[in-house]
Copies of this chain bind each other. A is one copy, B any other.
């Protein structure tokens, strides 16, 4: 699940060690060795996942070696379980245990000797490229840009100046313009008492081929899993994509649009400027969304929508006509 070229893992830990860290009641084998965390549907016998009552059906099905479960889930005796008042919070603690350095690359051992290895790419003097990053052929990287550990950039890519790229895999022929921030920190945290626990952001940004990303746009990396932009998708200036957003192929996203975490967008979708789309939604293929629309629900294929909250564009225009008539009364 977690890409080891980006995130260095600690451990393994025994279930007892984990339980002491999160102060949960442990049912099962306290000597069970856990080597990583994963989502409930992907966890194997060496991995731990968490479950809230909403997903209690996974408790029986999942192959995970251990579970952090909420108190209101009925215990299954032969599953190694940590009973938690706040499984989401405790999972964040466990994630920090396995990946204590997830929060930020360590810059100070950066190197800029990429030119020794790759004479076909042109890299400006003040660029910092981590020694573990890979740059393809015929790339150009503008002044002051930073390419973090483990980043992979394909062939024929153009990276503007003052760009920051971390935790990202970029295809061929992509153009990332000035001031773009790829792989920035997802906005995920859990409140407990009077403060927040940051959820470790352990995913990546995966950018397809022939993608363009406009100036000063930010694309957060996934928390677990990836934020994805499909081939040929065009993104304008000052756009924000939250963690784990998935954008299909050949989409057009105009300036100042924001898409919240975990929303997925189909192929050939056209999104106007200053559109906002809530998190955890599914937008179909060939959808057209008018500028400034606020989308708060799933949208079917081929829809054309507008308004805040979003409606069929014809309904939205009729609202304007209705209000105009009423003003005349």
Contacts and interface: CB of A to CB of B under 8 A. Distances in A.
A234 interface: yes
A144 B158 contact: no
Interface in A291-329: 291-292, 294, 296, 308-309, 315, 318-320, 322-324, 326-327
A216 B319 contact: no
Contacts of A123: 108
Interface residues on A, range: 35 or more
- What 9 A-B pairs come out closest when comparing CB atoms? A181-B215, A184-B215, A164-B178, A218-B237, A108-B122, A292-B294, A274-B276, A187-B236, A215-B218
Interface stretch (A16-24, A43-51, A78-86, A248-256): A248-256
Q: How many copies does the complex hold?
A: 3
Interface string A122-146: 1111101000000000001011101
Contact of A178 (B124, B181, B322): B181
The SS class assigned to the A binding surface is loop
A55 interface: no
A107 B122 contact: yes
A52 interface: no
Given A278-B291, A292-B276, A143 B125 contact: no
Contact of A162 (B144, B309, B322): B144
A87 interface: no
A190 to B, nearest CB: 11
B216 A179 contact: yes
A232 interface: yes
B250 A260 contact: no
